Amino acid sequence: MSQPVTFNEVNKDKVKNRKISRIPFDQMPALSHKDVFYQTRYSDLGEFISFEPTLDGLMQAVQTRKNFPVDRQTMVEVLTDQYQQTGLTSEQQIHIKKLASENTFTIVTAHQPSLLGGPGYYFYKIYSAIHLAKLLQKAMPDCHFVPVFINGAEDHDFDEIKSVHLFGKTVTWNSENSGPVGRFPLDNLTEAVQEMTTILGNSPKATYLTNVWSAALQASSSYNEFVHYWVNDFFKEYGLIVLNMDDVRLKKNFIPVMERELVNQISEPLVQATQVKLESFDFKPQAHARPINLFYISGQSRERIIHEDNHYLVNNTELQFGEAEIIAELHRHPERFSPNVVIRPLYEEFTLPNLAYIGGGGELAYWLERKSQFEAFDVFFPVLIRRNSVMIIPSNLQKSMEKLQLTEMDLLMDEDPLIEKFLQQSDNPNFELKKESKEILGIFHTIAEKAKSIDPTLEAAVLGEAQKTLKSVENIETRLKRSLKQKEEVQINQLRNLKAKLFPNNGLQERAESFLQFWIREDDEFDHFMIDQLNPLEKSFLFIYL
């Protein structure tokens, strides 16, 4: 096959015996069209972004961001209160104190509260945010940059966050609760944590996780508090600030935006018009904008608000309000109103002095639909930075790659073409009969010409026989291929197994497998290594060999 995997190429670095290979985004077939387009042709999307996702773009954004003040006092107050139980490191204390200053900006990433971290990119987002904040601190020492992780506590799609996959096993939190996941009580969560810790084993780092999760269970009365506790403990050394935006004080500040959305229904036409424009780049609509893009929270329900016949109805309930009544309800109980995916970015940028949002390809695609909406509400539209994507290849899988003489680019092929390529370049005779088929066809054409000179009506009959013969040769080739597959069955199964482990369900590892299964086996410097390597301004896909 093509050259086996080695680690002395120009594009590979060696850091503490870990090898890193960076693959350009446009060479990654597993990535979507819109994802690759944004990374490689962002300049073509100038109408939909405010700043290019580069260091120069970020430096330009700092000056514009200053023209959009936020309520820093309330933000600092909320963060201080949310950290009462968990405590703050000295760096976190500095970060929160400096957030009161007009020269301090956040670098935000966010995610649903996936069970015990969920898929790998949960962690890669955070590493990317920490790296970018440090990079900007060096580039602009007169400013201060704070990495912030927003825990999506109000999300109510429990099925999306209730499981975590690692070592070929699945751990699931069985809960009968409904509504905003962050407000869930911790019923049955202990069982899921215990199952997870059993799978992770008793290495020093696995024991750390067991202890921090146990402490989080003891200290928390809601799932949001549990997530805040353990994620903060995991990343506190690096100055990350974890924020829960399901806070009445933050929502009180956001009342003017929510009121305009309720009364004037601003977002839907703007988002839809932008979606139409983006279709010219073959970008399909990402989020379904509605006339009102807010939910109403009541007890354990979080339901859409619908405007119908001059009344505001709460879907799947008997609640309804007149316009004056729902505005009064908003002012009395802002905590009962919850942004959906269309309004949530506004809420984040309205609240924080944010400079850049770091997200995956799908996230950035729906942010691209928002610029005109942000302008309508006079809210700063941040620099959109694509998080790092990572494929981790542990030593046992590296051995399989070397044995099968597979390169990274080979692994990116679909399974059937990869097997075909493997068979073609095996030590066995070439099973393909293309040359022979061409020669046979040439012979039949010669015969057809002779037949035509004697009796023109015979030409078609001869060519018909040619097709029958070629079909027979094709069948022979299929049988040869099948026999060769049987002969190489062991290696083909190894190849399939390797592909399945690196691309679970034909998807990217980072979207399915827990990062913790790799993390527990590495030394205490591994987090520093990941932060150093995951620079989201480098527009490449990382293969990390452990």
- Domain residue limits, the chain: 44-253+343-391+511-532, 405-507
Nearest to 433 by CA among 478, 463, 465: 478
DSSP code, position 174: -
Nearest to 304 by CA among 352, 270, 337: 337
| pLDDT on residue 430 | 65
pLDDT band at 1 (very low <50, low <70, confident <90, very high): very low
| pLDDT on residue 483 | 65
Report the CATH fold assignment for 44-253+343-391+511-532. Answer: Rossmann fold (3.40.50)
Mean pLDDT of 11-33: 79
- In whole angstroms, give the CA distance from residue 417 to residue 426: 14
Q: CA of 203: how far to CAs of 17, 217, 233, 545, in Å?
A: 21, 21, 18, 21
What is this structure's pTM? 0.87
DSSP code, position 513: B
Mean pLDDT of 194-216: 96
pLDDT band at 462 (very low <50, low <70, confident <90, very high): confident
Number of H helices, E strands in the chain: 24, 16
Q: Is residue 375 within a helix (H) or strand (E), and if so which, with residue range?
A: helix 371-376
Q: Is residue 354 within a helix (H) or strand (E), and if so which, with residue range?
A: strand 354-359
pLDDT reading at 22 higher than 80? yes
| pLDDT on residue 383 | 98
Burial of 434 (0-12, 13-18, 19+ CB in 10 A): exposed
Mean pLDDT of 134-139: 97
Q: How many CA atoms lie within 13 A of 182 on its CB side?
A: 21
Residue 13 makes CB contacts below 8 A (sequence gap 6+) with 19, 20
The per-residue pLDDT for range 275-293, each reduced to its tens digit, is 999 999 999 999 899 999 9
Torsion angle defined by CA atoms of residues 407, 408, 410 and 414, in that order, rounded to the nearest 10 degrees: 160
The per-residue pLDDT for range 373-386, each reduced to its tens digit, is 999 999 999 999 99
